[in-house]
Structure 1
Amino acid sequence: MQKIKTIIFDLGGVIINLYVEKTISAFAQLSGLSEKEVEKAYLSADVFKQYEKGLISDDEFRQSLRDNFNLKASDDEIDQAWNAMLGEIPNDRIESIKSLKQNYKCIVLSNTNAIHESAFHKILSNSFSYQHLNDLFHEVYFSHDLNQRKPDQEIYQNVLNLSQTEATEALFMDDGQANLDSASKLGIHTLHIPRNDGLMNLLKHKLSTI
């Protein structure tokens, strides 16, 4: 009997390639700060978590970046720098997801925000015949819609409830170990995906061992 019934995908670094260093470089160029200074602010500033939880608006987020980095940049310039981290979606991943959907409920659970959501849906629609991730996956959950974010356990429990999934019947894949550790405490099976690499080979091996 099939033990795993639901596969939960992270988005950045698992489905769409992610290059955070490109955003750090872009903001360094806009601000005149060093990349190390930008990276330190990116890792420590609470505004990024607030924005991922949908607790502040797009305009409030942009203004916070102007304040944090002493920027004189326009909204478009800020959005371009913020979206620079979003890369391509390899065709083989889309084909693999289509195949997996025949046997599993396939879900996206992503820490993201409104500006990035708009940008990666443009990447998706420009490359494939899908306008939205909802056209590809059975269910899609974004942190800024739920007002919760990984690795807080409440978001995993919420998604299990919303998708009517038992923890022991779910496999969650992410490129962040802290996110996996938190999910596993609820009894969810987990799989670490190195950023931008190895999704299907690792997934097939994991499914064969559960």
Structure 2
Amino acid sequence: MRVVCFDLGGVLVSVRQDWLECIEAAGLADAARLRTSVHLTEFEGFDRFQAGEIAENEYLEGLAEFIGGIDFAGALEVHNAILATEFRGVLEVVESLHSSQIVTGCLSNTNAPHWHLMHHTERFPAIRSLQFPIASHEIRQSKPEPRAYRTFEVGVQASPDEILYFEDGPANVEAAIRLGWDAVLIDPEDDPAKQMRLALAHRGALL
């Protein structure tokens, strides 16, 4: 193992998966017309935006219409509320890897507003410290497409058998394993940092 690659949401960062939760977190519950729980992907523009298929303005205009009762700026606030907080202990995991001369990076299905928040604010220090960040909206390839994984390999200049991957999506883990990566499924509800430390210790790192 020479490289550790992380997914972001559900591995390094807790995320809200429901639009109603995001509306409430953004403080727009009184204005929004949407009053029932709806998973993020039920807004058809969400996955297209993360794949870089539609522009930010088009996405936010569509999201404002989908939610109802909010404007473009409100839609951005709701969208950004998907990101909650960095998981406790993950920064220490990343720093320990760097101390052990292990290269770190990420391969994330994400989007421009979230990418900006994660890399240009103080909220997510573990993400900011990663050495090779790869995002779906920038490469226009989303997991579990094999091309996304191959793009990471090229960027970090590593062969599949040199990469350990932490991911919370079963389909994305399976895709990585098919391509020769060592992939570990993370449960976001059960202390991701502890799970990663155990997996690394099992492989002779972070002992």
TM over 0.5: yes
Q: Give the C-alpha shift of residue 91 in structure 1.
A: 5.3
Quickly say closer, same or farther: Cα 1:167–1:204, change in 2 above 3 A: same
**Contact 1:53–1:149 (CA<8 Å) still a contact in 2?**
yes
Whether 1:188 aligns to 2:181 is yes
Using the alignment, how far apart are the partners of 2:58 and 2:45 within structure 1? 9
For structure 1, the 5+ residue unaligned runs are none
Q: Give the C-alpha shift of residue 45 in structure 1.
A: 4.1
Using the alignment, how far apart are the partners of 2:188 and 2:199 within structure 1? 17
Using the alignment, how far apart are the partners of 2:140 and 2:124 within structure 1? 29
Name 2:113's counterpart in structure 1: 115
The one-letter amino acid paired with 1:200 is: A
Using the alignment, how far apart are the partners of 1:34 and 1:201 within structure 2? 36
Q: Give the C-alpha shift of residue 27 in structure 1.
A: 4.5
Q: Per-residue displacement from partner, 1:141-170 (whole Å, max 9, x unpaired)?
A: 111101011111110111112211111111
Q: Per-residue displacement from partner, 1:5-50 (whole Å, max 9, x unpaired)?
A: 11000111211222223x33344845423424x33xx334442121
Which residue of 12, 15, 19 maps to 1:18?
A: 15
Name 2:50's counterpart in structure 1: 52
Report % sequence identity. Answer: 23
Q: Per-residue displacement from partner, 1:104-159 (whole Å, max 9, x unpaired)?
A: 1111111111121223335x41575x8x72xx111101111010111111101111
Using the alignment, how far apart are the partners of 1:20 and 1:61 within structure 2? 17
The one-letter amino acid paired with 2:148 is: I
3-state SS, counterpart of residue 104 of structure 2: strand
TM-score calculated relative to the size of structure 1: 0.82
Name 1:5's counterpart in structure 2: 2
3-state SS, counterpart of residue 141 of structure 1: strand
Q: Give the C-alpha shift of residue 66 in structure 1.
A: 3.1
**Bigger helix share:** 1
Using the alignment, how far apart are the partners of 1:27 and 1:33 within structure 2? 9
Using the alignment, how far apart are the partners of 2:22 and 2:195 within structure 1? 33
- With 86-95 and 99-108 compared, the bigger mean Cα shift is at 86-95
3-state SS, counterpart of residue 105 of structure 2: strand
Which residue of 144, 155, 169 maps to 1:151?
A: 144
Alignment of 1:44-83 (within 5 A): 44-69=42-67, 71-83=68-80
- With 185-194 and 84-93 compared, the bigger mean Cα shift is at 84-93
Q: Give the C-alpha shift of residue 92 in structure 1.
A: 2.3
For structure 2, the 5+ residue unaligned runs are none
- Consecutive aligned runs of 4 or more in structure 1 exceeding 4 Å deviation: none
Whether 1:33 aligns to 2:29 is no
Q: Give the C-alpha shift of residue 177 in structure 1.
A: 0.8
Using the alignment, how far apart are the partners of 1:96 and 1:112 within structure 2? 22
3-state SS, counterpart of residue 17 of structure 1: strand
The one-letter amino acid paired with 1:148 is: Q
Using the alignment, how far apart are the partners of 1:111 and 1:203 within structure 2? 20
